[in-house]
Amino acid sequence: SAVISQKPSRDICQRGTSLTIQCQVDSQVTMMFWYRQQPGQSLTLIATANQGSEATYESGFVIDKFPISRPNLTFSTLTVSNMSPEDSSIYLCSVDLRGSTDTQYFGPGTRLTVL
Amino acid sequence: GENVEQHPSTLSVQEGDSAVIKCTYSDSASNYFPWYKQELGKRPQLIIDIRSNVGEKKDQRIAVTLNKTAKHFSLHITETQPEDSAVYFCAAITGGGNKLTFGTGTQLKVEL
């Protein structure tokens, strides 16, 4: 099975700054996704990272706040921009390993605290 | 869009008993229903999934049932063990798309 890694695993940031989170897979995958999980809550899809084109954002999430890159089939980044304490969450990437565009496997997550 | 409701929010059972978690979905076009287990501080892990052309699927102590007419699906865990204690999330994906919509989660506690 493939290995999905994220960097950093956790960070504490000051409000107004930005943080870029990396997601790396050890095999090529078609679909990569970014989710947010606020403390004690469920998972909410932020966007689908499309290779070679702009990400597809879900309602309530915008590119200026959460710019996403997908330069190739094994790597994606999510930036959380101009952070506020409300952005404190766990950010997870997921990938479709089986190529079916259905089954998703998650990275270990990045725990972000904004002071 | 899809809406997934999950019940109960917390569930406490004695070791060896069965646990059942139920979910309903709103979009009749949904055709894939995974279940994830998330231990404290860990990533969600896929434990079982079912597609809309199947009514039931089993994997050892875990089973999932799907009722397309009623638009609900359930997770059944038999002979529960302390290591089953975790938060369980159901999810649904709409046909033709790849967006997973998650339920609100069930905190399962298996007591000795």
- Whole-number average pLDDT of chain B: 94
A14-47 tens-digit pLDDT: 999 999 999 999 999 888 999 999 999 999 999 9
| pLDDT at position A52 | 83
Contact A109 B43 (CB under 8 A): yes
Contact A106 B89 (CB under 8 A): no
Contact B45 A106 (CB under 8 A): yes
B19-49 tens-digit pLDDT: 999 999 999 999 999 999 999 999 999 999 9
Pairing mode, if any, of strands B72-77 and B19-25?
antiparallel
Contact B84, B60 (CB under 8 A): no
Residue of A nearest to B4 (CA): A42
Which of A66, A73, A86, A54 has its CA nearest to residue A21?
Answer: A66
Contact B110, B84 (CB under 8 A): yes
- For residue B93, the surrounding DSSP H or E stretch is strand B86-94
Contacts of B45 in chain A (CB under 8 A): 106
Q: Which tokens is B36 given?
A: 């994830």
Question: Rounded to a whole number, what is the distance in Å from the CA of A93 to chain B's nearest CA?
Answer: 10
Tracing tokens 């597609």 back to the chain, one arrives at: B51
Contact A103 B46 (CB under 8 A): yes
| pLDDT at position A59 | 92
| pLDDT at position B52 | 87
Which of A22, A106, A111, A109 has its CA nearest to residue A72?
Answer: A22
Candidates A23, A43, A58, partner chain B, best to mutate (most B CBs within 10 A): A43
DSSP single-letter state for residue A84: -
| pLDDT at position B46 | 95
| pLDDT at position B2 | 86
Residues in chain A: 115
The Cα B48–Cα B76 span in angstroms is 11
Contact B100 A45 (CB under 8 A): yes
A58-108 tens-digit pLDDT: 999 999 999 999 999 999 999 999 999 999 999 999 998 766 657 899 999
Candidates B31, B43, B50, B104, partner chain A, best to mutate (most A CBs within 10 A): B43
The Cα A113–Cα B86 span in angstroms is 23
Tracing tokens 């997934």 back to the chain, one arrives at: B4
Contacts of B100 in chain A (CB under 8 A): 33, 43, 45, 104
Question: Rounded to a whole number, what is the distance in Å from the CA of A77 to chain B's nearest CA?
Answer: 18
Contact A49, A29 (CB under 8 A): no
B56-75 tens-digit pLDDT: 999 999 999 999 999 999 99
Q: Which tokens is B97 given?
A: 């798309």
List, as ranges, residues 4-43 from A with C-beta within 8 Å of B: 31, 33, 41-43
Secondary structure class of A86 (helix, strand, coil)? helix
Query: Of A109 and A103, which is predicted with more confidence?
Result: A109
Contacts of B88 (CB under 8 A, 6+ apart): B21, B35, B36, B37, B38, B47, B75, B105, B106, B108
Contact B108, B83 (CB under 8 A): no
Contacts of B51 (CB under 8 A, 6+ apart): B31, B32, B33
Question: Does A57 reach chain B within 8 Å, measured CB to CB?
Answer: no
Q: Which tokens is B20 given?
A: 């059942």
The Cα A77–Cα A68 span in angstroms is 6
